[in-house]
Each structure stands twice: as C-alpha cells, then as structure tokens.
Structure 1
Amino acid sequence: MTGQDGSIEAGDIWVFGYGSLMWRPGFHHVERADALLRGYRRRLCVVSRHHRGTAARPGLVMGLDRGGACRGVAYRVPEAGVPETLAYLDEREIAHYPVYRRSMVTVDLGGGRRQRAVTYIVDRREADYAGALTVEQQAAIVAGAHGLSGPNPDYLRQTVAKVHAMGLRDRSLEAVLAALTEPSAATEEIARLTLGY
C-alpha cells in the first residue's frame, strides 16, 4: 500500500470505488469494470461534517474497513489524466475527511484479471472513524443529516440502489435503509449521544 507519497507507477491507473464513486465518479475514465476487493468491507463508519452533514449535525458516509470483502466498481484512467484525477480524488476524499488514506490495493476484475488500484481506506486511529455502530445508531445519524452534497439518506439510497443494479446485496446497508425514519427528538438524541455533538 501507499499513502500520498507519489509512489504510483507511471502509466494508466485504476481507481476502485465502493460508495458514491460507484454512481458519481466525477473524473474521466476509459474503462469501467465491476471489481472485488478482498480484505476490506464497505461500512457506514466515517463521520461526515461536509458532504453529507455539518459540524453542528454530522452525518455518516462509507469507508473501507478491515475484514471481509467488498464489491465495487473500478475505473481505468489514462496516463495523461492521472495527476488531475488524483488531485480531484484527494480533494473529494481527503480534504474534508482526514480519516481516509489513499492506498494501493489489488482488485479482481473477473475472468482472472487482477489489477492494482487506487482507493481510500479508513484509518481507525482518526477521530472521525465512527467504528461499529448499531443499525439503530446509523439510521438515527443518517436520518437527520444534510451536507453540501445533499441529504445523508439520499447518499445511502443511491449507494444501495447501485449495489442492487450490480445484481448484489449489502444486507448491512439495507438494514440501515429499512430503519430510516423521519428525524424526531428520539432519533436526534440517539445521534447526538452516539457522535457526542
């Protein structure tokens, strides 16, 4: 793995997306493939005070956390676009979320194709790592949060919809989605106690 140390090899790169990058990559790419990453799982485990929440009312977004496996989308970026793409991704992922670390991983693209790819993995030592929350806690936090990129529930719905469009299931995210209710005093109190805001 590599952090932001400039050690990405010359040539085209692949980028692995597991959350909003699956349905809104935001960068030029010349190839797209469904991909499997082993050793990490997709979780609602990152506190969002920018894109899907605020400092006063944080939300939750996806992170790649240790253990299990994650199916997502890999994009091939041509060499000429690599510097611009990495700058864009670092701004999108790291500038507002110091919990993420840019890393190199190996993904399975199917048909025996394996490829090194750039992705963003959570650092459990950071304060914005929410850890393992109950379904009730996740739903309470997501229900009332809204950031610059829109409502937190929309982010969850779009991610689950993309997973389903790929012919897959993510039962953990589906359980949170099913538990979403309109924000109330009770859900706000759960969210406040969980995140301590």
Structure 2
Amino acid sequence: MASQAINIPHGPARSEQLLLRTTAEWRASGEDLLLFAYGSLIWRPEFEYAEALSARVLGFHRVLRMRSRVNRGSPQQPGLVLALISGGSCRGLVYRIPRDIGDEVLPRLWAREMPNGVYEPRWLNCDTASGRLKALAFTLSRQSPNWTGALHEPELLHIFQHASGRYGTTLDYLLRTVQGLREHGIRDMELERQVHLAAQHGLCAPL
C-alpha cells in the first residue's frame, strides 16, 4: 500500500477524501488494520485491539512541532501536538485491530486525529519482533502550514502556559506522552528536555 499526498486545502473535505482513500487501501489488503502509534494513541488508544507490538520506524522521527487549533489549542492560541516528519527513526507501538471492526474504528480515529485533514496518512514499514509490518501512521510535511519548525524556549513556555483545546492542554499532552513512552521502555530525549524546561519554570512537577 502506497499513499500519495492529496493536494486539497486543509479542512473537512480533505479529511474525508483521505479517509476514503485510506479505507480503500486497507480493504484491498484483506488484512487486519495495523496502526503505528507514537504519541497519544500509546496512552489513550480508545479502540479495541488484538495485539500491541513494540516497533521502530526508519525514515521518520517524532517531534512536538505541529500546530493544534482544535485538540490541544484554539484558533486564538494554537497549541502543539506530535507529528512524524521525515528523517531519523521513531520507536512506538503497532496495534493490530481485527478486520471485522476496522470499518468502525477508522472513522472514529479520523474524527480524533484528522478533524482538519492536516496529517499525511502513510503506510510505513515498522520493524517488530514479529518481523516487518506495514502500518498506518500520521505524518506531516515540512511544507504544511501547521509545521512550526524549531521553536525557541520562550515560545514553548508561552504555549505550555496558555494553549488548551477540546482534549486539554498542550503541556498535559506532553507530560502524558512522556509517561506513556516510559511505560513501554521508550525514552525520547527531546520530549524529556521539554518537560524539564516546563518543570524548571514551575509549570509542572519533574517527571
């Protein structure tokens, strides 16, 4: 399964087209639905799964550099969420979702992860103890208007203090992600550095 970017402006129409395309690609495979989780899906999956495998993706890495105007921020005060961007590698989990519930899980997953069609869904090779598996992952292009690039510490601290959306604050999202990763034996040094920065400024307790 190979996905190409859809050149439609971000918004519900793009999200719907991406859902239709991804659903068709998965159905054509005839397999269970495999999903690569690298952020909040690790600690709050909100769907049933038959198996969760430790996995590593080559060619993409996890960063807190995607603007969030719905889930962890607002149009007035955008927050941040994680994205996979090209380069490096990323450790996470591959969920195996039984085929007979995939058609119910995908739309719910889309409503959560793709309200504005910002991510680029891709089928990525994931190395696991069970071998290499191809799983759906939500990636981000550096050409996306929601890509922040590098953020200076004052910018990060302002977001940690003020950004909140329908699922809570950016800072809570960061803290829960770092805790969730640690529970699976994964240490992300950049995310942990950001938690340390927030703790240094009295915004949270040290982890």
Give RMSD over aligned pairs. 1.6
After superposition, the C-alpha distances for 1:89-116 in whole angstroms (9 at most, x for unaligned) are 22111113x32011101101125x1111
Task: Report the equivalent of 2:71.
Answer: 51
Report the CA distance shift for 1:33/1:105 in structure 2 as closer, same or farther (over 3 A). same
Is it true that 1:10 corresponds to 2:30 in the alignment? yes
Measured after TM superposition, the shift of residue 123 of structure 1 is 2.2
- Aligned partners of 2:92, 2:154: CA distance in 1, in Å? 25
Unaligned 5+ runs, structure 2: 5-17
Counting only pairs closer than 5 Å after superposition, residues 99-114 of structure 1 correspond to structure 2 as: 99-110=118-129, 113-114=131-132
Matched residue of 1:132: which SS? coil
Matched residue of 2:134: which SS? strand
- Aligned partners of 2:69, 2:140: CA distance in 1, in Å? 16
> Larger % of helix: which?
2
Question: In the alignment, is the contact (CA less than 8 A) between 1:51 and 1:150 conserved in 2?
Answer: yes
- Aligned partners of 1:139, 1:175: CA distance in 2, in Å? 12
- Name the amino acid aligned to 2:69: R
Task: Report the equivalent of 1:143.
Answer: 161
- Aligned partners of 1:72, 1:80: CA distance in 2, in Å? 24
Task: Report the equivalent of 2:149.
Answer: 131
After superposition, the C-alpha distances for 1:130-169 in whole angstroms (9 at most, x for unaligned) are 1222344333323321111012111100001112112221
Task: Report the equivalent of 2:9.
Answer: none
- Aligned partners of 1:135, 1:84: CA distance in 2, in Å? 41
Aligned structure 1 segments of 4 or more residues deviating by more than 4 angstroms: none
Task: Report the equivalent of 1:188.
Answer: none
TM-score (norm 2): 0.81
TM-score (norm 1): 0.85
- 144-153 or 17-26, which deviates more: 144-153
Counting only pairs closer than 5 Å after superposition, residues 172-191 of structure 1 correspond to structure 2 as: 172-180=190-198, 181=201
Matched residue of 1:27: which SS? coil
Counting only pairs closer than 5 Å after superposition, residues 18-97 of structure 1 correspond to structure 2 as: 18-96=38-116
Residue identity over aligned pairs, in percent, reads 33
Aligned length: 181
Question: In the alignment, is the contact (CA less than 8 A) between 1:136 and 1:179 conserved in 2?
Answer: no
After superposition, the C-alpha distances for 1:162-189 in whole angstroms (9 at most, x for unaligned) are 1211222111111111111367xxxxxx
- Aligned partners of 2:154, 2:133: CA distance in 1, in Å? 37
After superposition, the C-alpha distances for 1:56-103 in whole angstroms (9 at most, x for unaligned) are 11110000011111111110011111112211122111113x320111
Counting only pairs closer than 5 Å after superposition, residues 151-190 of structure 1 correspond to structure 2 as: 151-180=169-198, 181=201
- Aligned partners of 1:42, 1:168: CA distance in 2, in Å? 12
